[in-house]
Amino acid sequence: MPPPKDEEPVAETCTPELTPLWRAIVEEVCAVHKVPAAALLDGSRHKEIKAARDAICFELSTRTAMTLPEMALRLRVSVGSVQRALRRQRRRENIASGVIHHRNTQILELRAAGLSYSQVALRVGVTRSVVSAVIRSRRIRDEANK
């Protein structure tokens, strides 16, 4: 059974005045990333296409009231793929804005001050596994630079 009219795949184009908001977002992000909209539907895992798909999912989640299943249906991916795309895009934005660097610095400073892993995790608002991963990666980097 073909999808209903408003759920047609991204690759099909229509006039701008008839374009729903989600299609306009897809076209806008594809133009920024210089990726054809049709490439999003072929399941490609190329770096550029994956980055564009991540950005589209993030924009759809912030600028529309679409649910994850609706996004997955329109982009022809699974709901899990949409969730991973949102996670990757949020991480990219946190790294670009310096949030991750600030958090890691805060973890290392609190640990150096003598707080336990659990205390550091509570103060920073992360899990103990994040604290141990940050400290482990710092040790590995320090040992590599010796």
- Is the pLDDT at 80 greater than 90? The verdict is yes
Residues sharing a CB contact under 8 Å with residue 13, sequence separation 6 or more, in sequence order: 27, 37
Top pLDDT among 40 and 8 is at 40
Q: Averaged over 24-36, what is the pLDDT?
A: 90
For 50-76, give one letter per residue: b (16+ CB within 10 A) or e: bbbbbbbbbbbbeeeebebebbbbbbe
pTM of this prediction? Answer: 0.60
Q: Considering only 1-10, 28-37, 38-47, 103-112, which range has the smallest mean pLDDT?
A: 1-10
pLDDT grade for 111, boundaries at 50, 70 and 90:
very high
> Rounded to the nearest 5 degrees, what angle is found at the Cα of 68, between the Cα atoms of 62 and 71?
80
Is residue 10 a contact partner of residue 75, using CB atoms and an 8 Å limit? yes
